[in-house]
Structure 1
Amino acid sequence: MNYSKELKVAKQAAKEASQIIRKYADKASFDIKLKGKNDLVTDADIASEQKIIEILTGEFPEDQILAEESNQKSSLPSERIWIIDPIDGTTNFAHTFPAYCISIALWENKEPKVALVLEVAHQELFTAVEDEGAYLNNERIQISENDNPGSSLIGTGFPYKDLDLVDNYLKLFKRMMEKTHGVRRPGTAAWDLCNVACGRFEGFYEYGLSVWDVAAGALIIKEAGGVISDWKGGDNWLFGQRIIAGNKSIHAFLMEQINESFEEKELTN
């Protein structure tokens, strides 16, 4: 199926939402509310999401919507559904610290078909359509071929809501510091996944993620030649909150290190 219209509309939605976010950022004046422990929402999140939904539903009124600040769901239907994160990296945005992203994905028959991640501060536009490759600002991208952990740069995210596994996480973090070239934590999982897709990171791991954090970035990684899974190597990464991504070798390395750092019951929800 041709998804060129869907990608075009997603780009327009991201462009207009980005303009809204940048206006808020330029004024550095917005209300910040606390949804939960260390979980923020700003006026810009809400305004951006409303604009994206308005544009998508205007063009595709029959499609369903799953969005961070509204229309949340615990599973996917077989029908077409747009999965939206209006600002991934809201804490960064609230502190005027780049990076922060718009993430938009179209899933159909419970599979990703179209993906877009726009890093707003630097205007990096990552896109992918199933079986058509992955792109950064219209230039084809692919994952790193480096299969040596010792010379690999790894991305991750720090837990901020669920702190029950912090001790194990720090154990894993120490392993990464010892066994890799370095670990980075930009603070936006959508962009982290895109950094794997374009070869800046060799791999990425995190727990405590939500569906809208990974729905777009995962397709971009796959279309760039990468591997993505949950912490046990399975397919429960969309709603499973635990994710590993990278090239084949680094993905296997990360899964091994994770399995040695966490107990069996902690590898899944």
Structure 2
Amino acid sequence: MNAGSDAALAVTAAQAGAAVVREMYGAPLARFDKSGGDFATAADLEAEKVIGEVIRAARPGDALVGEESGRTGAEETGRVWLVDPLCGTLNYAVRSMLVAVNVALRTGSEVTAAASADPFNDEVFWTDGERARVRRDGEDAELTPSAESRLVDVNLDPPFPNAPDFRAVELLADPAFGARFRPRVVSTTLAVAWVAAGRRAAYVTDGRLRDSVHFASGIALCQAAGCVVTDLRGRPPHTGAGGLVAAADRQTHATLLEMIDHQLSASR
């Protein structure tokens, strides 16, 4: 990886945020209420601040969209950094270590660099838009998707724009799902990176995900790793019904789409 590249910056920024998340873990944290019963903690805010400082120092002409602070920086630019400083705040607040720090760069209409850091396993999954790698102890290894685990993460958090036609919770109740896969619900988009890394067979969620600070990094990682990534109806991401099906291989993807289509057809 070129030391001055956007991908290197994404990794550095994600690592800086991850360091904050580790340092503040377990301490009493102020909570800041958001809409829909959601909240941020002081760790979310501090991690986003540090990430922003890293990015602005290196790319002062770029814009930045943070989950907590919104959009800052240049208005007229085709380069926008998407920052989710602590994905899995609910987990973190109850001292669960299943969280991620996501940093992605959208250049024009494409995500051209992205990183998802796991603060507690000292791993950073990253892509330059072409390759997908994981960094451990300063060394990079290629991400290789695999459906061997049969583990599928299903996101049950709102919003649900495709309800009542599609409800993720009903996918878990489908006998065909239980016969083919084993469900997981970890409530952090670190699980999307795990699909690229071969640790999950697939990931399924509803939602409108274009320019999502939560999902941009994971989607880019899966695409660069060679996963099959579509919306809930099998179309390219962000072009159809919304939602996401990211699968390690075509067979897994086709099987999940068949189950989803059965649910969609039953609602017509």
Cα deviation for residue 83 of structure 1 reads 0.7
What CA RMSD, in Å, does the superposition of the two structures yield over aligned residues?
2.9
Q: Distance in 2 between matches of 1:19 and 1:201?
A: 25
Matched, 1:182 2:188: no
Offset of 1:96 from its aligned partner? 0.9
Q: Do the aligned residues in 2 keep the contact of 1:105 with 1:116 (CA within 8 Å)?
A: yes
Over 3 Å counting, the alpha-carbon distance change for 1:115 and 1:163 in structure 2 is closer
Aligned counterparts, 1:186-197, within 5 A: 186-189=186-189, 191-197=190-196
CA distance in 1, matches of 2:55, 2:225: 26
Partners in 2 of 1:164 and 1:227 — Cα distance? Answer: 21
1:15 corresponds to: 15
**1:51-130 to 2 correspondences below 5 Å:** 51-72=50-71, 79-130=78-129
Aligned amino acid, residue 261 of structure 1: Q
Match of 2:229 in 1: 228
Conserved in 1, the CA contact under 8 Å of 2:233 and 2:240? Answer: no
What letter is aligned with 2:179?
K
Which amino acid in 1 is paired with 2:104? Answer: A
Change (3 A) 1:230 1:25: same
Partner residue of 1:141?
A: 143
Size of the aligned set, in residue pairs, is 257
| TM-score of the aligned structures, taking structure 2 as reference length | 0.85
> Any conservation in 1 of the 2:160–2:167 contact (CA below 8 Å)?
no
TM-score by length of 1: 0.85
- Residue equivalent to 1:244: 245
Contact 1:118 1:125 in 2 (8 A): yes
The separation in 2 between residues aligned to 1:168 and 1:12, in whole angstroms, is 37
Aligned to 1:216, the other structure's residue is in SS state helix
Q: 1:155 aligns with which of 149, 153, 156?
A: 153
**Are residues 240 and 17 of structure 1, via their aligned partners in 2, closer, same or farther at CA, if it must alter by over 3 Å?**
farther
Question: Percent of counterpart pairs with the same letter?
Answer: 22
Moved more, 42-51 or 230-239: 230-239
Shift of 1:78: 6.9
